[in-house]
């Protein structure tokens, strides 16, 4: 009997190539017939055909149905249901259709470029980076999928027989495997789409007929792909329309197998690494260009979600889209600077462009070398920031997981606060044995290089049941056999994992964390099992580390309320807000319509968290948080106000979270939380977050905002350099935007006051901390000052919108009064170090209140 699953499509970008490929991989090993039906379009597709799935034109929130039959129908339905829940809006990196899409076009050329009168071109930033090279159009070998005239198919016999279809497909797959070798993460996923397309039954059937029946291999192949491309072009889903590039890639690959080209198709033939421009490119072309070496990629039509752009981003190639290719073609061969962060291309034949590249590169290098936004006048980071890690579900993904571990520490993580281990079970056909688990855990610990790693034991149950385990029906599995309740009935799974973790602990410091703990007796039982397995290892002559911390997830409301009773049996706690919120608020976190309501900071949840954290801290136990709320920058002040010891976030969020924490004031955050606890609902809490200041008060002048002997040679360079310094100090949120704002003021009137001094100033929400910056220049620059004298001292005033407006004016007036004093100017120029300048400016600001300020 067929099973049906009805739902509204929860995929943010609709059913496009990557989720289609994941569905294929998820169900490939099952004996089941699975059909996806889009009830809006009336189209249906076999789930094993990625192209057919794309042709259903399924958009976010479309009414859909999946019908499953066969021996493994129940397992297939359950796997797909879990997949849809995990891929819901907010759970993936796909674009949310309810939000504005993609980066916007650059608002204009940077001030340095505009000031120098250089030619430049603006587009949309798509993959960040700074590059230099000569403009070159896409090489001719890429311009068409058609084979050169007169080329004979490689497998044609003496009588012009058609190529052997199976040999063509096998060779194409071999080349795809070679392309994919070593690719990780997103790059591997994107390149894998081509392999999945080449396994599509409908496409293979059409290609076999074309090659064996229609004759004329190249033209027949072209006809098949053109038919599919036309179908995709008519889809409403933009992500599906973009998959035309993947089809074009596969088309070219098959032609290259059937009709080999001579001379390759790289970017070679040019001195240095060129900047390639084209209307668009396919992922395979990006791969070839990357291997032959290019500096940057400028595209006309591709969007930010194009597989080609995403792959280029993963390969570290700067990309700008929305470019005027005709304007670029008119300047073929021109040396250019590409600033893909701002979406601009600049004529590099002028010295000003070389200076721009030098100054931009200097700021980026300094930012990479420094701890993200670590201010010299700031406190130790609170709470500490750790990274979450998901263990790979497939052996070929292990390198990516280990690379992600190392990258997390490079981005400022102090530890790995949560390693989710269950993914290796969910995709495996059988339970990994002890040695397999040990090797994987040891690799993560070794990659951490002595820093702590916390492994959560298998979080099995609810919507996460391995296909290899027997499963009894449960009316409500989310409230059924989960965590320790599951372990008590499948004890050997826990024992095997604990042995593997103990063995991995020989490679470095680890902690073990238990999910879904309901009673203190659960932790007593797990600790007993852990010690028994330690003895088992000793009897086998296998070394295991001494006692390692054994902690628990706080995610069951009753356990949170009774946290004091768990402190004697748990060494540490980590709050899992995802499950805790769904149990507390009675909302299924996988529900496509209601799950978004769990993202908000509900005061009931905040009260529960506050009560638990205070009790746990009182008893001297560490407590952290690893749920979605920990990575939500909008509610970070509330999390900081709780007094957590640490938060563990996704690696991609590390830099932003660290930057925000560095700017927060501990006491203000606590005060905000106290107010939030009295709010009636989540909406009131969000309103509070928007109005209550929580950033720590930093001194208006600090040493990291004083620059001496600056080699900035024009007014535009000075403004650029000083905006960059403020950004590096964590005092402004967007250096380029601040630079543009200051420059717009300078275009209307010069801020050169005379006496060789300029005072540029701005009040903007970009400013996180009101600041007076001082720069003493190596050589004076023309500032258009009122007395015509060049400027050698620049004092910049930047104020945030939370500061009273008259504060800005008072600071300006106090400075101006001192700057007209020749003695003060002389002392300012005579200062030999930053500290002396700080003391002199401080004395000026501490003077009597100026009269008549308006």
Active site residues: 761
**Helix, strand and coil in the chain, % to nearest 5:** 45, 15, 40
Tokens of 640: 């900081």
530 neighbors 498 (Cβ within 8 angstroms): yes
Strand partners, 336: 133, 347
Strands 752-754 and 757-758 come out as antiparallel
DSSP 254-298: HHHHHS--SS--SS-SSSS--EEEES---HHHHHHHHHH--SEEE
**Could you say which DSSP state residue 494 is in?**
H
Query: What is the C-alpha separation between 385 and 654, in angstroms, rounded?
Result: 8
Burial label, 542 (beta-carbon count in 10 A; 0-12, 13-18, 19+): middle
Q: What are the DSSP E strand ranges found in 348-391?
A: 384-390
Distance separating alpha carbons of residues 224 and 241, to the nearest angstrom? 17
Q: Do the bridges between strand 453-456 and strand 416-420 make them parallel or antiparallel, or are there none, so unpaired?
A: parallel
Terminal-to-terminal C-alpha distance of the chain = 82
Cα 785 from Cα 29, distance rounded (Å): 75
CA 340 from centroid of its chain's CA atoms: 17
Beta bridge partners of 573: 552, 623
- 392 touches 401 (CB < 8 A): yes
Measured between alpha carbons, how far is 746 from 605 in angstroms, rounded to an integer?
49
Asked whether 615 and 622 are in contact (CB, 8 A), the reply is no
Of 675, 684, 568, 685, the residue nearest 632 (C-alpha):
685
Peptide bond into 148 cis (omega under 30): no
Residue 293: C-alpha distances to residues 57, 143, 267, 271 (Å): 37, 18, 7, 11
Distance, CA of 388 to CA of 416 (rounded, Å): 6
Q: What are phi and psi of 66, to 5 degrees?
A: -120, 130
- Tally of CA atoms within 13 A in the half-sphere of 815 that contains its CB: 23
> Do the Cβ atoms of 605 and 676 come closer than 8 Å?
no
**Pair of tokens at residue 666:** 């501990």
Q: What three-state secondary structure class fits 330?
A: coil
Let me know if 706 is exposed, middle or buried by CB neighbors in 10 A (0-12, 13-18, 19+). Answer: buried
Q: What angle do CA 555, 560, 563 make, to 5 degrees?
A: 130
C-alpha 128/C-alpha 339 separation (Å) is: 8
The whole-angstrom separation of Cα 743 and Cα 113 is: 12
Paired tokens of 641: 């106000």
Q: Which residues contact 380 (CB under 8 A, 6 or more apart)?
A: none
Residue 722, SS3?
helix
State the number of CA atoms in the 13 A half-sphere of 698 facing the CB.
Answer: 29
SS3 822: helix
Q: Hey, what are 519's tokens?
A: 């009673």
Asked whether 719 and 741 are in contact (CB, 8 A), the reply is no
Identify which of 584, 182, 703 has the alpha carbon closest to the alpha carbon of residue 400: 182
**Residue 721: both structure tokens together:** 């350099």
Are 513 and 574 spatial neighbours (Cβ–Cβ below 8 Å)?
yes
């Amino acid at each position: 009997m067929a099973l049906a699953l009805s739902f509204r499509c929860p995929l943010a970008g609709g059913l496009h190539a990557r989720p289609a490929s994941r569905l294929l991989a998820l169900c490939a090993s099952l004996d089941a017939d699975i059909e996806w039906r889009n009830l809006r379009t009336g189209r249906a597709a076999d789930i094993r055909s990625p192209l057919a799935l794309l042709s259903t034109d399924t958009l976010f929130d479309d009414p859909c149905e999946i019908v499953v039959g066969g021996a493994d129908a129940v397992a297939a339905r359950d796997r797909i249901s879990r997949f849809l829940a995990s891929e819901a809006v907010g759970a993936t990196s796909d674009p949310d259709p309810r939000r504005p899409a993609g980066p916007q076009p650059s608002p204009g050329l940077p001030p340095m470029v505009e000031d120098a009168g250089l030619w430049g071109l603006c587009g949309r930033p798509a993959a960040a980076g700074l590059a230099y090279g000569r403009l070159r159009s896409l090489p001719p070998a890429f311009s068409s999928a058609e084979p050169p005239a007169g080329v004979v198919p490689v497998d044609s016999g003496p009588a012009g027989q058609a190529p052997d279809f199976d040999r063509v497909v096998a060779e194409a797959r071999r080349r795809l495997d070679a392309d994919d070798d070593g690719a990780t993460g997103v790059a591997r996923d994107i390149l894998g789409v081509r392999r999945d397309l080449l396994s599509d039954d409908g496409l293979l059937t059409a290609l076999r007929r074309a090659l064996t029946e229609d004759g004329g291999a190249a033209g027949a192949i072209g006809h098949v792909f053109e038919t599919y491309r036309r179908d995709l072009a008519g889809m409403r889903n933009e992500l599906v329309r973009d998959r035309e590039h993947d089809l074009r890639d596969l088309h070219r690959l098959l032609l290259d197998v059937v009709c080999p080209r001579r001379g390759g198709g790289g970017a070679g033939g040019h001195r240095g690494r060129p900047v390639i421009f084209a209307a668009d490119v396919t992922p395979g072309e990006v791969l070839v260009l990357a291997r032959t070496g290019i500096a940057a990629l400028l595209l006309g039509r591709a969007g930010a979600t194009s597989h080609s752009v995403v792959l280029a981003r993963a390969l570290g190639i700067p990309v700008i889209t929305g470019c005027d290719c005709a304007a670029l073609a008119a300047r073929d061969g021109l040396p250019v600077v590409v600033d893909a962060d701002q979406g601009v291309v600049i004529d590099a034949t002028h010295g000003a462009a070389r200076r721009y590249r030098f100054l931009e590169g200097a700021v980026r290098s300094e930012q990479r070398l420094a701890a993200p936004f670590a201010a010299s006048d700031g406190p130790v980071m609170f709470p500490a920031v750790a990274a979450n890690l998901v263990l790979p579900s497939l052996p070929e993904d292990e390198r990516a997981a280990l690379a992600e571990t190392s990258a997390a520490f490079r981005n400022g993580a102090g530890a790995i606060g949560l390693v989710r281990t269950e993914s290796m079970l969910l995709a495996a056909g059988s339970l990994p044995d002890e040695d397999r688990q040990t090797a994987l855990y040891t690799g993560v610990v070794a990659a951490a290089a002595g820093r702590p790693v916390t492994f959560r034991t298998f979080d099995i149950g609810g919507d996460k049941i391995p296909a290899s385990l027997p499963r009894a029906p449960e009316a409500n599995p989310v409230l059924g056999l989960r965590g320790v309740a599951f372990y008590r009935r499948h004890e050997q799974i826990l024992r095997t994992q604990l042995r593997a973790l103990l063995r991995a602990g020989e490679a470095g410091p680890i902690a073990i964390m238990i999910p879904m703990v309901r009673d203190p007796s659960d932790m007593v039982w797990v600790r007993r099992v852990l010690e028994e397995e330690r003895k088992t290892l000793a009897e086998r002559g296998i070394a295991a580390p001494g006692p390692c911390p054994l902690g628990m997830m706080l995610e069951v409301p009753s356990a949170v309320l009774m946290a004091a009773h768990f402190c004697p049996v748990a060494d540490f706690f980590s709050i899992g807000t995802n499950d805790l919120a769904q149990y507390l608020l009675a909302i299924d976190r996988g529900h496509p319509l209601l799950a978004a309501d769990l993202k908000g900071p509900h005061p009931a949840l905040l009260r529960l968290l506050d009560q638990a954290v205070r009790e746990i801290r009182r008893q001297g136990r560490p407590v952290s948080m690893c749920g979605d709320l920990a990575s939500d920058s909008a509610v970070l002040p509330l999390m900081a106000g709780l007094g957590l010891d640490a938060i563990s976030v996704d690696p991609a969020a590390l830099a932003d979270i660290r930057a925000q924490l560095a700017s927060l004031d501990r006491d203000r955050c606590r005060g905000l939380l106290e107010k939030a606890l009295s709010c009636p609902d989540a909406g009131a809490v969000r309103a509070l977050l928007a109005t209550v200041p929580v950033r720590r008060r930093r001194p208006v002048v600090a040493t990291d905002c004083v620059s001496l002997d600056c080699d900035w040679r024009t007014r535009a360079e000075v403004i650029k350099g000083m905006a960059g310094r403020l950004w590096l100090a964590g005092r402004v949120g967007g250096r380029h935007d601040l630079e543009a704002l200051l420059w717009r003021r300078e275009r209307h009137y010069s801020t050169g006051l005379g006496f060789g001094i300029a005072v540029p100033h701005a009040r903007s929400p970009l400013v996180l901390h009101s600041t007076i910056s001082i720069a003493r220049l190596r050589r004076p620059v023309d500032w258009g000052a009122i007395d015509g004298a060049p400027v050698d001292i620049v004092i910049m005033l930047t104020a945030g919108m939370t500061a009273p407006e008259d504060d800005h004016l008072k600071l300006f007036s106090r400075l101006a009064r001192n700057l007209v004093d020749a003695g003060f100017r002389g002392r300012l120029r005579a200062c030999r170090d930053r500290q002396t300048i700080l003391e002199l400016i401080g004395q000026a600001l501490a003077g009597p209140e100026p009269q008549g300020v308006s």
